[in-house]
Amino acid sequence: MKRNIKVALAGNPNVGKTAIMNALAGTNEKVGNWPGVTVKKKIGRYNFRGVDIELIDLPGIYSLTSYTLEERVTRNFLLKEKYDAVLDIVDVTLLGRNLYLTIELLEMGIKPILVLNKTDELRNAGYTIDKKILEDILELPVVSISAIRRKGLEELSETILRVATGDLKPKGIIPTYSEDLENAISLLLLKMKEENIPYNKRWFVIKLLENDPEIIEEAKKSLIFAEEIFKEIEVIKEALEKKYKCDLPSYIARERFNFASQIARRVIKRTEEIPRENFSDKVDKFITNPFSGIPIFFLIMWLVFKLTFDLSAPISDFIDSIFGQFLPNFLTKQLSFLPHFLLSLINDGVLAGVGAVMVFLPVLGILYFLMSILEDTGYMARAAALWDNSMKLFGLSGSSVIPMILGFGCNVPAVYATRAMRSSTERLITMLIIPWVSCGARLPVYTLFAAAFFKEYQALVIFSLYFLGIFLSLLLAFVLSKFFKQDGEEFFIELPSYKFPSWNVVINQTWIEVREFVYKAGTVILAVSVFVWALATLPAGVEYASENSLIGHVGKLLVPIFEPLGIDDWKPIVALIFGALAKEVVVGTLGALYGSEENIIHSLSNIFTPESALAYMVFTLLYIPCVATIAAIKQESGSWKWPIFSIVIELFTAWIVALGVYNVAKIVF
């Protein structure tokens, strides 16, 4: 009997693949009640009855045609990698739509375990599913589960074990379509009977008829009678398109949907009378209508920021007292035997640098918590749909909204999330504008300066910075769209039903983001704080963090560039340089140079005016992306040209806009 099993998880976006992996393997991967959360493979492992099971969570896809990166990643894995079983996970509340992918898997020759997720939601909606009939129709093992409520997991693991070890052998049907399409497939199979094809030949033929770009390229290179076969395809295409009044790929897609819909109608039964208009329909009349939905969107976002700052303030003050007073005093007394420079390293470098950042942990934690609630209720998917028409004014579509919203957490996964976009032009534009979406790492900088200069209007000032970032992002998208050729791909998104948020999911999402922030504080920010301390201490004998120190000399060289913005002190300028590594480092560096949050605020009050503070916040918002975002843009665009373009345009824009803000503020304040 096998002791190691590899299982692939496939399915449409937002069906709960990652939630199932988390439930089975105990992983803490991010899940979301909207599409596009999984954009690359994720792995989880667990042991069931002495067998090690490796789960590979593949990106969610709607079909196995190679139009998007997600589709290519999933399809290439299923075609070329080795595995013992495939879980085809479907959202049972959207069975007809989700079975489309099941049918494609069967065409490919894969005989998956069909996993019906969200069965509790189906029941609550007044429906039931006949699992036995579904098993008989598809000739596949079918398991009903609820990943969020951890129901049906034992049966699922048992079925995985039986299929992977050969105890249960799914037969799997061969989906059959209209007579015309079947005749076309049979004709091409006959023409290709001498060809050696490394995949299921029927699937290969269907993909040729669907005009799949990767399969066509492969056929041109490998088929012996390629020219003759492509001529025959053209004849078939002309005949079917003339008869059915649509292009051939659309006709094949319609055949699959018909097949899937017929199955769904046979197995889904209504158990109670359903009102013509349900709760989601009634709410969506306001949420997705631009006239009411856009004001509601801004109101919700403003409330999120208001709650974030009101709730986090007392916790932040407590953490500041720990890092700013208690720990320095305690360690100074306990470690008084250490040389002065080591005490300075601990207090001025480590505690001041890391502590200055940790003070903002409650702010980020509460912000992520509130955003996770919005995600899990299903609101974020509607926000993407709401902005679709508005985004077209800027040369984008609603598909850009999801990466941009993800960018509020961190720009790096947001850049990777563009993989789900079908239009290559919109994808490139979106990844170039994402760095201007205010990520959580910039929030400590905003909060620090808002507390020092705009205490009574913190939420409004910071909300305005987020708004400015989005406005300039869209403006840049509009300009870029005039130079890039559009490829006309349409945006569509599946709206999940509204639901009460699952606290397990919300807490897990918040923990993932908070954990990343704490990890950075303990690694990158700690290392940079020590490095800044060393530069502020050397050469030996200089006053700590004085203008005669090494870091003082570097900062003074750049002062003339920032003087027009009202910034004539070198320390905040140096903080911006180190902030290129990660934006949280700006506050960490200020902490290493000025001391605890209380000392920073006092020092900043003597250096900045409200006008120059505003210019500094705007510059922080707009200047270069962090190194991780630059690397992500390089990886996703496949060229250094675009990250360099991004750095140049953002540095230039940051200085110009900050200059404008400073001069306008001088008139207004």
Is residue 41 domain-shared with residue 106, that is, in the same domain? yes
CA distances 189 to 227, 238, 600, Å, are 15, 19, 74
Q: Contact 346/335 with Cβ under 8 angstroms? A: yes
- Cα dihedral: 563, 568, 573, 575 (round 10): -150
Q: Classify residue 232: in a domain, yes or no.
A: yes
Predicted local confidence at residue 119, as pLDDT: 85
* CATH classification at residue 199: 1.10.287.1770
Is 23 annotated as ligand-binding? yes
Give exposure, 620-636, as e/b (b: 16+ Cβ within 10 Å): bbbbbbbeebbebbbeb
Helix H, strand E, coil C: the string for 209-261 is HCCCHHHHHHHHHHCCCHHHHHHHHHHHHHHHHHHHCCCHHHHHHHHHHHHHH
- Angle at which helices 279-287 and 379-386 pack, to 10 degrees? 40
Say whether 329 counts as a known binding-site residue.
Answer: no
Measured distance CA(633)–CA(649) in Å, rounded: 14
Determine the Cα–Cα distance for residues 658 and 564; give it in Å rounded to an integer.
Answer: 9
- Annotated binding-site residue? 6: no
Number of other residues whose CB lies within 10 A of the CB of residue 195: 16
CA–centroid distance for 148 within its chain:
20
State which of 138, 165, 192 marks the end of a domain. 165
Query: What whole-number distance in Å separates Cα of residue 259 and Cα of residue 246?
Result: 18
Do residue 40 and residue 135 come from a single domain? yes
Q: Average per-residue pLDDT in the chain?
A: 84
Q: Is 638 annotated as a binding residue?
A: no
Classify residue 63: in a domain, yes or no.
yes
The set of residues, in sequence order, having a beta carbon less than 8 Å from that of 78 and lying 6+ positions away, is: 8, 10, 58, 64, 86, 105, 108, 110
Strands 4-11 and 51-57: parallel
Instruction: Provide Rg for the chain, Cα atoms.
Output: 29
Report the CATH number that the domain containing residue 44 is assigned in CATH.
Answer: 3.40.50.300
Residue 108's pLDDT is what?
A: 93
Please give the pLDDT value at position 106.
Answer: 95
pLDDT tens, position by position, 362-379: 877 887 888 888 888 888
DSSP for 252-320, please give it.
HHHHHHHHHHHHHHHHEEE-SPPPSS-HHHHHHHHHSSHHHHHHHHHHHHHHHHHHHHHHHHHHHHHHH
Residue 16 annotated as binding? yes
482 annotated ligand-binding residue: no
Is 579 part of a structural domain of the chain? no
Q: 148 and 186: one domain?
A: no
32 is in an annotated binding site: no
Are 121 and 26 in the same domain? yes
Asked if residue 546 belongs to a domain, the reply is: no
Q: Please report whether residue 373 resides in a domain.
A: no
Q: What is the pLDDT of residue 200?
A: 92
Low-confidence ranges of the chain (pLDDT < 70): 1, 28-41, 66-67, 272-277, 353, 356, 420, 486-494, 520-521, 595-598
Shared domain check, 206 and 95: no
CA angle 566, 572, 576 (to 5 degrees): 110
Q: Let me know whether 108 and 150 are in one domain.
A: yes
Expressed in angstroms, the distance from the first to the final Cα of the chain is 77
Residue 396 lies in a domain: no
Please tell me the predicted confidence (pLDDT) of residue 118: 86
- Give Cβ neighbours of residue 32 (< 8 Å, ≥ 6 apart): 14, 375, 376, 380, 509
Asked whether residue 81 falls in the same domain as residue 159, the answer is yes
Burial of 34 (0-12, 13-18, 19+ CB in 10 A): buried
Task: Confirm whether residue 117 is marked as ligand binding.
Answer: yes
State which of 218, 244, 270 marks the end of a domain.
244
**Residues 144 and 183 reside in one and the same domain:** no
**What pLDDT, on a 0 to 100 scale, did the predictor assign at position 94?**
85
552 marked as part of a ligand binding site: no
124 is in an annotated binding site: no
- Is 4 annotated to bind a ligand? Reply is no
Q: Within this chain, do residues 29 and 134 fall inside the same structural domain, yes or no?
A: yes
22, two tokens: 């988390």
Is 79 in the same domain as 37?
yes
| CA 516/CA 583 separation, integer angstroms | 14
Within 8 A by CB and 6+ apart from 187, the residues are 232, 236
Residue 59 assigned ligand-binding role? yes
Give per-residue pLDDT as tens, 316-329: 778 878 887 788 88
Give 427-447 pLDDT, tens digit per residue: 899 999 999 998 878 888 898
119 annotated ligand binder: yes
Tokens of 235: 């004849």
Establish whether 284 is an annotated binding residue: no
- Structural domains of the chain, count: 2
HSE-up (13 A, CA, CB side) for residue 357: 32
Residues 39 and 146 in one domain: yes
User: What pTM value is reported for the model?
Assistant: 0.64
Q: Could you tell me if 156 and 62 lie in one domain? A: yes
In a domain, 87, yes or no: yes
Domain that holds residue 206: 179-244
CA-to-CA distance for 6 and 572, rounded, in angstroms? 52
CA dihedral defined by 279, 280, 282, 288, rounded to 10 degrees?
160
Q: Does the annotation place 91 within a ligand binding site?
A: no
